[in-house]
Structures are given as structure tokens and as C-alpha cells.
């Protein structure tokens, strides 16, 4: 159709994403039949420049794992938050090139706000990728100390913001987990179709004082959340964060004239 502007999502894999149906419903509510939203599976981010050139009518993108940091090498400019976080999840095409923004931090902060208590002073963030970087940045901005947990332990230091401690899963113990009453899972492990997958987090050390957040939203209850809930923890999936970061992405695209 002539005059149609395309929006979409790049990542790998993308088949599980609810973003296309979420934005399709938004376009219908707004009567915007001049817009489409598609999921583009891009296994290798080095193909992004050629893909972009071949799809000149794509004017805005969301970015999901594993490209939230790697795609930055191909962008012309960054929004202030994206530059501070070191990861992007929303792109706008301009005449000069792509501009990257981060709406993950915005969505995450608002999704957990109703669940935070004054006991949630310290957090364990499971993962060191782009989503983890946004979560740690958001937590720091509301005064919560955060440490990252990685399969490769301290050798992962440098992937995140300066001064963020990184520990290995083998260093987790009951006292450490009790000292960190907020736990946020930021990897794709446990996402459909591999719903029984779980990072090596000892959920038996969780208790009623913990808030456990899994950014995965498909399935709505991951194995991590199921086990955490069985230990008495309050649990939250990534559905609200998805909705909120998408709202902010839409605002950014609208401001750019989409």
C-alpha cells in the first residue's frame, strides 16, 4: 500500500514477541491504517546496515536480545539515557541515520514502583546484557544498590556501568540472598518454548520478604517465578514492563513524526 510506514522489532529469536499484536491493536485504536509493525529475525547484527538499506520504508524499530548493545555500533546518535545505560531498545530513522533510545529503564522503573518497599534497598540482577544494564541504571536512579550475577562471574566486569559489582552464581549463598531482597532476572532463559529453563539461582533461599521480577513475559509464569512464589516471595513478570516501554517507544516515534 502506498504511503505505508513500517515499524518493527529486530532480534533473535523474535517469534515469541507480543510486540506485533500489541502495536497492531494500538494502530487500530488510533485509526492508523498507514502503519504496520513486523518482527524481523536478525541472527547476526553485522547484517543490520545491509538490512536497513534494503528496507528504507522502516522508520522505527524496537530492539530485543541479543542486539541491544551490539547495534549501537551502527547508530548515528544516542539519546541521553541510552548513552548512559550503554544499551538501546528503540530506534528512529533520521536523514542522517539511526538514533537509539532506551525505554526499557523507563518501563521497568514504572512497572516495579507499586511493589517496592523500603526493605528493597539492594538488588541482585541476573544477567549482564542490555536489559540488565537498563535495569541497573533504573534501580540506581531510585536509590537501590545493584550487583549483577553472571555465569562467568567477575570476568564479566566491564560489560556494565562502572562500579557495578559482578559475582558468579556459585558465589550466591543464603546470607547474600537474604541481604538482597529484590531479585531481577534479565536473561532469555525460561522464555517460550524452553519454559522449563532456569538460571542457576538457588530459589530455596528466597522468602516472604523477597520481590522477584522476571523480565520474561512468555510464559506469564516462568519456572523461576513459580519456584520463587512457592517460597513465599512476591513475583512479577515482564508484561507490564513490555507495555510501558512500548508506550514510551510510541511517544518517541510520534515525536519524530511517525
Annotated catalytic residue within 5, 68, 117, 159: 68
Confidence of residue 186 (pLDDT cuts 50, 70, 90): very high
SS (H, E, C) the chain: CCCCEEEEEEECCCCCCCHHHHHHHHHHHHCCCCEEEEEEECCCHHHHHHHHHHCCCEEEEEECCCCCCHHHHHCCEECHHHHHHCCCCEEEEECCEEEEECCHHHHHHHHHHHHCCCCCCEEEEECCCHHHHHHHHHHHHCCCEEEEEECCHHHHCCCCCCCCCEEEHHHCCHHHHHHCCEEEECCCCCCCCCCCCCCCCCHHHCCCCCEEEECCCCCCCCHHHHHHHHCCCEEECCHHHHHHHHHHHHHHHHHCCC
What pLDDT score does 178 carry? 98
pLDDT at 184 over 80: yes
- Portions of the chain given CATH number 3.40.50.10860: 5-102+242-255
Write out the three cell numbers for 47: 547484517
What pLDDT score does 158 carry? 66
What pLDDT score does 152 carry? 86
Confidence of residue 30 (pLDDT cuts 50, 70, 90): very high
Which CATH code is given to the segment(s) 106-240? 3.40.50.720
* Percent of residues, the chain, with pLDDT higher than 90: 93
pLDDT at 26 over 60: yes
68 is annotated as an active-site residue: yes
The predicted-structure confidence for 35-86, as pLDDT tens digits, reads as follows: 999 999 999 999 999 999 999 999 999 999 999 999 999 999 999 999 999 9
The predicted-structure confidence for 137-162, as pLDDT tens digits, reads as follows: 999 999 999 999 999 887 766 677 77
| pTM score, whole prediction | 0.95
Preceding omega of 220 cis (within 30 degrees of 0): no
Phi, psi at residue 44, to the nearest 5°? -120, 120
Please give the CATH topology (third level) of the domain spanning 5-102+242-255: Rossmann fold (3.40.50)
pLDDT at 2 over 80: no
Preceding omega of 219 cis (within 30 degrees of 0): yes
- Portions of the chain given CATH number 3.40.50.720: 106-240
Amino acid at each position: 500500500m502506498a504511503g505505508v510506514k513500517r515499524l518493527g522489532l529486530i532480534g533473535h529469536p523474535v517469534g515469541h514477541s507480543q510486540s506485533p499484536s500489541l502495536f497492531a491493536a494500538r494502530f487500530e485504536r488510533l485509526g492508523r491504517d498507514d502503519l504496520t509493525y513486523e518482527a524481523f529475525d536478525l541472527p547476526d547484527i553485522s547484517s543490520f546496515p545491509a538490512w536497513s538499506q534494503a528496507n528504507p520504508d522502516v522508520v522505527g524499530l524496537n530492539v530485543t536480545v541479543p542486539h541491544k548493545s551490539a547495534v549501537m555500533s551502527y547508530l548515528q546518535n544516542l539519546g541521553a539515557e541510552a548513552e548512559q545505560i550503554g544499551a538501546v531498545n528503540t530506534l528512529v530513522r533520521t536523514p542522517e541515520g539511526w538514533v537509539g533510545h532506551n525505554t526499557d529503564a523507563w518501563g521497568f522503573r514504572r512497572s516495579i514502583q507499586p511493589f517496592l518497599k523500603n526493605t528493597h534497598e539492594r538488588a541482585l540482577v541476573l544477567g549482564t546484557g542490555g536489559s540488565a544494564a537498563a535495569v541497573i541504571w533504573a534501580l540506581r536512579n531510585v536509590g537501590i544498590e545493584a550487583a549483577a550475577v553472571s555465569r562467568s562471574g567477575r570476568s564479566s566486569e566491564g560489560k556494565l556501568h562502572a562500579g557495578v559489582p559482578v559475582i558468579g552464581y556459585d558465589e550466591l549463598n543464603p546470607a547474600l540472598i537474604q541481604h538482597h531482597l529484590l531479585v531481577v532476572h534479565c536473561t532469555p532463559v525460561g522464555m517460550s518454548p524452553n519454559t522449563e529453563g532456569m538460571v542457576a539461582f538457588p530459589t530455596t533461599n528466597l522468602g516472604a520478604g523477597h520481590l522477584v521480577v522476571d523480565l520474561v513475559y512468555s510464559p506469564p509464569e516462568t519456572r523461576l517465578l513459580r519456584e520463587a512464589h512457592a517460597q513465599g516471595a512476591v513475583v512479577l513478570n515482564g508484561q507490564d514492563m513490555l507495555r510501558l516501554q512500548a508506550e514510551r517507544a510510541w511517544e518517541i516515534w510520534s515525536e519524530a513524526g511517525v
